[in-house]
Structures are given as structure tokens and as C-alpha cells.
Amino acid sequence: MNRLTMRRLATEIGSTPMALYHHVRDKEELLVLLLDDYAARALRRPAAPPADPRERVIAAATAIHEVLSACPWTVDVLTADDLLSTSALWHVEQIVDGLTECGLSLDDAVHGYRTIWYYTAGEIVVRATAARRRATDDRPTYRDRVFTDLDPTELPRLAEASSRWGPLTAENTYATGLQALLNGLLTTPA
């Protein structure tokens, strides 16, 4: 949230910082209002959520991911962890409820939601940051230069994948990762 300034927000919405302060007390109040408005418009509830609790968790997390991916600055705000949109809570409820119906205690379901949120937010932040960097610089990335010179005797697997590393890590694997994460959350400890 520190990277978000009133100036940056004003530019994003086509206004000036002083005009924003005329309507809101501070940056946090404005951010909450913007988040809630965006969530209310973009994060739609399905007419009938999936009956299967596992599928309900996947559907709600995927909906959150899609909406936030379309507007990545919102993730910067939400990672402050105390600003949230009440319009998005229905989806959070679906995740927590689905996890409890899959056998987790309420406390574990809340922790499970947090794990899914961290995965979702992290995935969006990494992709958005990488896209911003690639948009402003067409030189080979530092990663590309490092992977070109890997010593196959020291790092055999990475050296083997080095020519495909960029395209592989650019693939959208959110759904696969979410499934794997959910499998782990729902595994009963031995």
C-alpha cells in the first residue's frame, strides 16, 4: 500500500489528489470505497454456486483471481491485510464454508482461506510485476542471462530446463496450483 499514493490513484481515475481529499478523509477511506465499488461491479455472485463444497471453493477463489488479475493495483491495497471490500465477502464466505463442509474446523477453514488468498495474491503480484517490467524493457531479463550460463554439473535439472524456463513460468497455472493447494489443505494429517 505504501507504493500507492493519492497522486497515483488520482491519475488512475483521472482526477487530482486535492479533488480526492475534498471527498474522502484519507487514502485508506478512498481505497476502501474504490475496492468496494470495483468488487460490487466486477465480482458477481453466480445464480447457483456449485453444490459440491470443493467445487464451490475453486469457483469462488477463481472468481476472486479473475477480478483482481484484471485490476492488479487492488492486490497491492488488499495485501495491507486490514482493508477489504464488503462486496467481496460473499466469495470469502463460499471458500470458508466450502472448506468446513469438506471437513475442516472453522479455525482451519479460516487458515485455509488465508493460504488460498496468499497464493492468489502472490500469483497476481508476480505476474503483474513481471508484465510491467517486460512492457518497459525489451532487453533479456537478468533471469534469462543467468539461466543461459548455468553449469549442468552443479544444477543439472535447471540447466536442462533453462531454455524453456521463461515460457514455462509464463504459463497460467493458477487453476492447477489451486487444485494442488486445495488437495494439501484437505489432506488429513497422519
Per-residue pLDDT of the chain (190 residues; tens, 9 = 90+): 456 677 887 888 788 888 878 888 877 777 777 777 777 777 788 888 999 999 999 999 999 999 888 888 777 777 766 666 777 888 999 999 999 999 999 999 999 999 999 999 999 988 888 887 777 777 777 888 888 889 999 999 999 999 998 889 889 999 999 999 999 999 866 4
User: What does the pLDDT read at residue 84?
Assistant: 67
User: What is the C-alpha separation between 143 and 127, in angstroms, rounded?
Assistant: 15
Task: Using CB atoms within 10 Å of the CB of residue 62, give its burial: 0 to 12 exposed, 13 to 18 middle, 19+ buried.
Answer: middle
C-alpha cell at 162: 533453462
DSSP 4-19: --HHHHHHHHT--HHH
> In Å, how far are 4, 83, 92 from 11, measured between CA atoms?
11, 21, 30
C-alpha cell at 187: 489432506
DSSP 8-state symbol, 99: H
User: What is the C-alpha separation between 168 and 180, in angstroms, rounded?
Assistant: 18
Q: Give the global pTM.
A: 0.80
User: What is the C-alpha separation between 113 and 108, in angstroms, rounded?
Assistant: 9
User: What does the pLDDT read at residue 190?
Assistant: 45
What size, in residues, is the chain?
A: 190
SS3 breakdown of the chain: % helix, strand, coil, rounded to 5?
70, 0, 30
Rg, the chain, Cα only: 20
Task: Using CB atoms within 10 Å of the CB of residue 154, give its burial: 0 to 12 exposed, 13 to 18 middle, 19+ buried.
Answer: exposed
User: What is the C-alpha separation between 53 and 21, in angstroms, rounded?
Assistant: 44
User: What is the C-alpha separation between 66 and 131, in angstroms, rounded?
Assistant: 16
